[in-house]
Structure 1
């Protein structure tokens, strides 16, 4: 007999969502944020860990929402806009803090490594924001009002 428990259903949704392009991007964002968190935490100056923690937790929340398809059930939140804002802010924060970490990390290899991974994460978050923007742009064109000249 087939296993119809909620845990099996959740695992099936996880496996199928990770194979989608958005699932791959969100999983990569979570993984690279974890790597950056480890690098910053092991450096002598761990002040930049807050960026990695916040972006990782928010990416996990969005991963869970999109995986369980709650974005189709919770309609009072515009998920496309909020995801675009999340990715844009994440890209900006990672690029700024990573440049500061790389430039000022003299002699601290873990801080420099975290900064390099942070620059890669900034590029990944910017790519995510770009793909969301393209999705928004294509969705807006379909929802455009008709231009009927008759009054």
Structure 2
């Protein structure tokens, strides 16, 4: 007879997902994935679909980092400094979203889907910039706590 008290791996993964989305970092990454998906839809409906490349790349990167942090693989794979990698991902995403969104909003006359994608892109740029800021604060706080003493006195 099967043991019904043991949790299945799928249930364990769903529990990790639920608990990680409740954290600040998990909520930000989930919001980044969702808004990137909305931007992809807007640009796909536009006459100029080439702007969707930024949204696709940033959504994939956010999904990868969401999975890594949710499954706590960042603690197992210590070859890469995940905090700095995430900082660069979020910073580059913020800059790219703001640039492409301004281009779409300014030059999107007559194409409502392109303008909508640009507006959502500006919101995504602000979200990615906020993510960058929170990661920067995390880096700054860990540097202050782990700073070595420079006092040569005995």
Q: TM-score range by the shorter chain?
A: over 0.9
Instruction: Please give the residue correspondences for 1:1-151 in structure 2 after superposition, counting only pairs within 5 Å.
Output: 1-150=4-153
For residues 113-133 of structure 1, the C-alpha deviation after alignment (integer angstroms, 9 at most, x for no partner) is: 000000000000000000000
Q: In the TM superposition, what whole-angstrom CA distance separates every residue of 1:31-82 from its partner, at most 9, and x where no partner exists?
A: 0000000000100110101000000000000000000000000000000000
Partners of 1:2 and 1:100 in 2: CA distance: 56
For residue 120 of structure 1, give the secondary structure of its aligned residue in structure 2.
helix
Q: Distance in 2 between matches of 1:135 and 1:145?
A: 18
For residues 5 and 151 of structure 2, the distance between their equivalents in structure 1, rounded to whole angstroms, comes to: 54
SS state of the match for residue 103, structure 1?
helix
The alignment yields a C-alpha RMSD, in angstroms, of 0.9
Moved over 3 A (4+): none
**Whole-Å separation in 2 of the counterparts to 1:51 and 1:75:** 28
Unmatched segments (≥5 aa) in structure 2: none
5+ residue gaps, structure 1 = none
